[in-house]
Every structure is written in C-alpha cells, then in structure tokens.
Amino acid sequence: MKLLFTGDVNFRNKETITAEESKTALASVMPHFEKADYTIVNLECPLSDDDSAPIRKSGPNLISPKACICFLEEAKVDGATLANNHIGDYGRQPVIDTLELLAQKNIRNCGAGANIDEAYKAMYFEKDGIKVSVISSCENEFGVATNHEYGSAGLNIKKIYNAIKREKALADYVIVAFHGGNEQNPIPSPKQVERYRMFCDFGADAVIAGHTHCPQPAEYYGEKPIIYSMGNFFFSSFSQREATDPWFYGYMVMLDVTKDGIKYELIPYRAEDEVTRIRVFEGEEKAKMLAYLDSLAEIIKDEDEHLKYFKGWCYHIDFYWADNPTKPGGLERLVQSKNIVNCEAHHELLRTNYCMLIDEDRELGAQYWEKVSKLMKMPV
C-alpha cells in the first residue's frame, strides 16, 4: 500500500479558488498523487460559510468558504487530518460544517469531533490485506475539544497512548499525524524529537508531522519513520517574502507500507507565482533539497549540539507577559500569555530562554542563532 501525506492546506487569500485554478496549482504534484493508493492532507482551516463567531486567540482566525472543497476534490484526496491550531478558529458550527462537508464528499477524516474522545478517533485505509490506522493530534493552542465541546484533538499523553494501544489491536500499522513545533524553525526542538520518538515507543509505526511553515528533517527511529515537518503545501502568506523563504517550500511523503514494515520517500517542491502553482523539484534542485534535509537530520543526532541549536533559536524569540488584564490592552496580552503556557512548543521556548538568562548562556545562544538563521534560507 502506498500512502501519500502532504503538509498544511489553507485557503487564506484564496477564498474564491475555482476547480480550474485548483487544477493549475496541482498539475505538477498530481502524478505523485496518482501513484498513491490513498492521499491524505492536513486541512488547516474550517470549511464553512459561517464566520460569525471568531474565538479569542493569539494569531489569526482563519476560515474558508465551503466552495474551497473543490481543491480537495480536484486533488482526489482520500483523507484529511484536522487536529491543528486553526480548525476551531470560529467555534462549534464551522467544525460541524467541515465534518459534514467531508462526509458528503467521501473524504475520511480524523483529529476533530464533538468532544475530545471523538476527536481522538482514527481513520482507516486498507489494501492487499494490510490495514492502516491514522490518529491525528496537535499541541494545545486554541480550538481544542473538551469533554463537551467541538474542537481538535489536543495533546493528552494518556489519551494518545490509549489511542495508539487501541488502534494496534484493530490495524496492522498505526500512524500518528501530529501538528506542532516552533514555527519557522528548520530544526525540531529537543522536546519535539523526544515526543515523536515517544509516540513510537508507545507503539506507533510512523509519525507524520507539520505546522512549522518550513520543512524540517526526517529520520528512521529504529525502523519507524518520523517526519518532523513537511512544511506548507498550499498556504499563502500575508506578507511579502524572499524567494528562498522556507514558507514556500515543503515536501510530500510517500509511505510504502508492506507486511515487512514502512519505508518513506520525500518529494520536495516549491509553491510559486503567489502560491498558484506547486512545482515539484527534479534533478539537481531535488538533490540540493534532499541534501539540505539530510544536513538538518545530522544536527538532531548529537543531543548536545542539538540543544545548542535550539538555544540559538530561542535567543532571537521575544515573549511578553500581561501585567494586569484589567488595564487597557491587558486582556489581549493575556491571550498571548495563555498560549505560551498552554502550547507545548511555546512553553519549551519560554523555559529555555529563562534558563539561558539565569545561566548567563546568552552568548552561546547568539552564536548558534547565526547558524540557525543560515538554515532558514532554502538551497534552491
């Protein structure tokens, strides 16, 4: 069985996309889609015409009209993971609308639901006597499901452990599709690496991740694939960016699933012409991108060096705290603070920055920030 995973799909600035425009955007990737038995995307926005109830959050509230489903239809997508930090941006009804729309179009999904237990339900893919279960989860930012409210499957170690164990009894292979990490950072953080390897220790046979708006490396943990971040797939930018900005780069992951295990192939690309065309790299460009990803994978093999790179990343990040939510603007600062406390990636940044200040380690951070910043330019 061949499963193809892509990174984040969002229709910001593309709310009026048509079937013809979708065909143009997808033309270069469709040969790879057609080689797969099943194709799965991360849908990072609700598809709904009801934008009346944006939730209070830090970062943008994102939603797209139901008509944008034409993109998934033209791509002949078989499944969508929904656990991410935007699916719940407009509250309950748009989540309901998205689930109903995907069901109408016969697109399987996982990662969101009427409550946290429903959000942790899996979707299944089967061929040649092999059954694969996919679970979707995300870091705890905004729009996370509760015991009684619609939303995404926010990370809960006990629930994800139980979900993996449950699915191991129902399928031959279990894949965890996870949404998390430090946005723009080309190197997964130490906790991110630890977390995804822990999922494999729990029994997952592969981890496929995204969220960072840039490609991160891949590795085999034992014989189990871990994809740290595929980067954006179809996701325009609010601001002007340089041509080599990682925002426009990513890779698809083709999993070859056999009775002997799972192997992966990375298929890098660039979104061009204001994200109207996804161009798959070939030849020398492809070789350069794969070599770049291999160089990132080398960094995480050495724990001490890996931590230094993360300190470099933390060095350039500034956070602020709300001093008094009753003062003008205080409540909005408190929303940012809530995200720093709740979201695993932000919390790791804050803790590392505090330790660097106390341990007087800022000079090391500055040194390694120079190294990290060089990796934030794509090689082609």
Provide DSSP, 266-333: EEEEEEETTTTEEEEP-HHHHHHHHHHHHHHHHHTTSHHHHHHHHHHHHHT------S-TTSTTHHHH
When the pLDDT of each residue in the chain is averaged and rounded to a whole number, the result is 96
Whether pLDDT at 324 is above 90: no
Q: Express as a percent the part of the chain with pLDDT over 70.
A: 98
Quick one: pLDDT at residue 38?
Answer: 98
Beta bridge partners of 181: none
CA distance 82 to 78: 13
For the entire predicted model, the pTM comes to: 0.96
Quick one: pLDDT at residue 336?
Answer: 82
pLDDT band at 322 (very low <50, low <70, confident <90, very high): low
Quick one: pLDDT at residue 335?
Answer: 85
pLDDT in tens, 150-182: 999 999 999 999 999 999 999 999 999 999 999
Quick one: pLDDT at residue 136?
Answer: 98
Quick one: pLDDT at residue 60?
Answer: 95
Dihedral, 295, 297, 298, 300 alpha carbons, nearest 10: 140
Quick one: pLDDT at residue 326?
Answer: 73
The lowest-confidence range among 134-148, 165-179, 259-273, 342-356 is 342-356
Tokens linked to 214: 């840039």
Arithmetic mean of pLDDT, 250-255: 98
Quick one: pLDDT at residue 314?
Answer: 95
Q: Which domains does the chain have, with CATH numbers?
A: 2-302 (3.60.21.10), 305-375 (no CATH)
pLDDT band at 103 (very low <50, low <70, confident <90, very high): very high
Quick one: pLDDT at residue 323?
Answer: 66
Q: Express as a percent the part of the chain with pLDDT over 90.
A: 90
pLDDT band at 279 (very low <50, low <70, confident <90, very high): very high
pLDDT band at 25 (very low <50, low <70, confident <90, very high): very high
DSSP, collapsed to helix, strand or coil, labels residue 210 as strand
Whether pLDDT at 327 is above 80: no
Tokens linked to 108: 């399987």
Kindly list the distances between the CA atom of residue 107 and the CA atoms of 27, 69, 124, in Å, as whole numbers in the listed order.
21, 10, 11
Whether pLDDT at 321 is above 70: no
DSSP, collapsed to helix, strand or coil, labels residue 104 as helix
- What DSSP designation does 68 have? G
Beta bridge partners of 253: 5, 266
Whether pLDDT at 225 is above 70: yes
pLDDT in tens, 34-65: 999 999 999 999 999 999 999 999 899 999 99
The lowest-confidence range among 133-137, 222-226, 352-356 is 352-356
Whether pLDDT at 4 is above 70: yes
Quick one: pLDDT at residue 180?
Answer: 98
Whether pLDDT at 102 is above 90: yes
| Helices of type H across the chain | 19-26, 30-35, 69-74, 92-104, 116-119, 157-168, 190-202, 283-299, 303-315, 330-342, 344-358, 362-375
The lowest-confidence range among 155-169, 213-227, 340-354 is 340-354
Arithmetic mean of pLDDT, 239-258: 95
Arithmetic mean of pLDDT, 138-142: 97
Whether pLDDT at 319 is above 70: no
Quick one: pLDDT at residue 337?
Answer: 83
